[in-house]
Amino acid sequence: MGKAYDELITIFTEISTVSSIQGLLYWDMNTYMPPSGINHRAKLFTHLSKEVHIMSTDKKIGELILSCENEDLDDFQKRNLELIKRSYDNNTILPVELVGQLASQSNKTLELWKKAKGENNFEMVQAEMEKLLALNIKRAEILAEAKGLDDPFEALLDNRDPGFTIELLDKWFNEVKEFLIPFVKQIQDAETQPDLSFLSRIVPYNTQVELVKDLATFLEYDHASDKAVGRIDEVEHPLTIPCGKNDVRITVNYQEDKVIRAFSAGAHEVGHALDRLQRNEEWDDFPVNMIGFPSFGESQSRFVENAICNSREFWNHYYSTFLKLTDGVFDDISLNDFHFAINAVTPGLIRTQADEVTYSLHIIIRYEIERDLFAGRLAIKDLPKEWILKYKEYLGVDVPSDTEGVMQDLHWYSQFWGYFYGYGIGDIISAQITNKLSQELPDWANNLEKGSFTPIREWLVENIHSLGAIHDTLGLVEAITGEPLTTKYFIEYLKTKYSKLYKL
């Protein structure tokens, strides 16, 4: 191992330490921080973001990268070097003042969004959102010029998921859209339909908290022992927040008439947490363990949420526990009726409440709007109208308010621009991985039905999580499944599962 390489890894570790502090502050801001603390917190984020940027763009890193060319590195070291160089190149493109402005503006916009959403007043946040978009477009234009790309939005895709292009995303999403829109209509016209009325029964807040904790324990996410690696808290918008090694925290939103929503959110976020926690311990502090790709990360959360916790095999085992933990609220509901109801296809307004059939249409709408915003074909002031039009066209639903429309997600009011596509790609990857799991571990569903998630989790560790970022997303998919990313398994999965449920 060379001296320059060793020094690079040391610097990377120092930068990661500051980033962990940011993660902890972000978790606190979303959970327990007093509302009046936002201005000071914005200052802290601005300071730390600038500090990370200064550390990440130090000329010494560039010099060390060049020095590494004269060192004899193995493939593992070369991959770490590649990831550091990629990050350095991306970071040195951006002026430090712009980085600070983005951090400050995103936090201000996020806090105002919370108020605007509560009051159903998009105009309240519109001006700040316009400032945030302008800063992100400026960032994207700088990146695009440096990368030799014509489209600024594509530069954001390249930053988050190298190898992804607008052309590829348009291809995959058009294939999915062409299947889904008529398939959803076919399902809606089916004679067999589930009874959904019981899903809105009241389950007390504390009961739901205990239910999510039990689910997390079943999925082997340790949030309670004296060696716990996580915890579960409440926020407006569920998310997973890595705060450091062996410290990955999940958050859930609870509503007493939406117990399945909290349950599904818990499963989703545990999927994210396991992905981060089950990396190869020998690679701790190296870029291959610390760096992740949004779309691949979503494949892990959606796998746990849908392939596992929406499966019949899971509920064959877990339903008796669910009935007990919910204090008999659903004792009169058969397993068949319950499973059909929680998998019902119900075109609706809210992405995080969407069933797995219509979910991708929610994502495609956001992707297309975001793509058009960066291309200048759409303005912030026109977002509510465009949102209404697309929801009617793709999902056949009317949007009654901006709170349930364009303000439902935090992403565009925070730092997550050029991000939504990953949720949809995550479903496509998840289906391809599930197909591979069935080939290599054909008894996985039977194990789940017997109450054991362990074989599945161990397969994930060995075949997926332990790989970290040793490849980029598309390379990971091919390394794990043996073939390039394709939509065919996702389409086949939905067609098979829901044709059976709805007797199509």
**Rounded CA separation 455/222 (Å):** 17
CB of 444 within 8 A of CB of 456? yes
**Rounded CA separation 188/206 (Å):** 35
Of 128, 154, 269, 370, which residue is the catalytic one?
Answer: 269
Give Cα 310 to chain centroid, integer Å: 18
CB of 310 within 8 A of CB of 357? no
Largest CA distance in the chain: 71
Query: DSSP for 237-276?
Result: S--EEEEETTEEEEEE---TT-HHHHHHHHHHHHHHHHHH
Please, what sign has the CA dihedral across residues 70, 72, 77, 78? positive
Q: Which residue type occupies 220?
A: E
Look up tokens 């194990």; give the residue. 447
Structure tokens at 206: 């504390």
Please, what sign has the CA dihedral across residues 319, 273, 489, 365? positive
**Rounded CA separation 78/72 (Å):** 9
**Rounded CA separation 151/159 (Å):** 13
**Region for 482 from its dihedrals, namely left if φ exceeds 0, alpha if ψ lies in -120 to 50, beta otherwise:** left
Structure tokens at 494: 């939905």
**Rounded CA separation 472/464 (Å):** 12
Q: 416-440: buried (b, 16+ CB within 10 Å) or exposed (e) per residue? A: bbbbbbbbbbbbbbbbbbbbbbeee
CB of 77 within 8 A of CB of 5? yes
Q: Exposed/middle/buried for 329, CB within 10 Å: 0-12, 13-18, 19+?
A: middle
Calculate the alpha carbon distances from 344 to 219, 303, 361 in Å: 24, 18, 16
DSSP helix/strand/coil, 234: strand
* Nearest Cα residue to 422 out of 383, 367, 465: 367
Q: Is 269 in the active site?
A: yes
Structure tokens at 16: 């990661």
Active site residues: 269
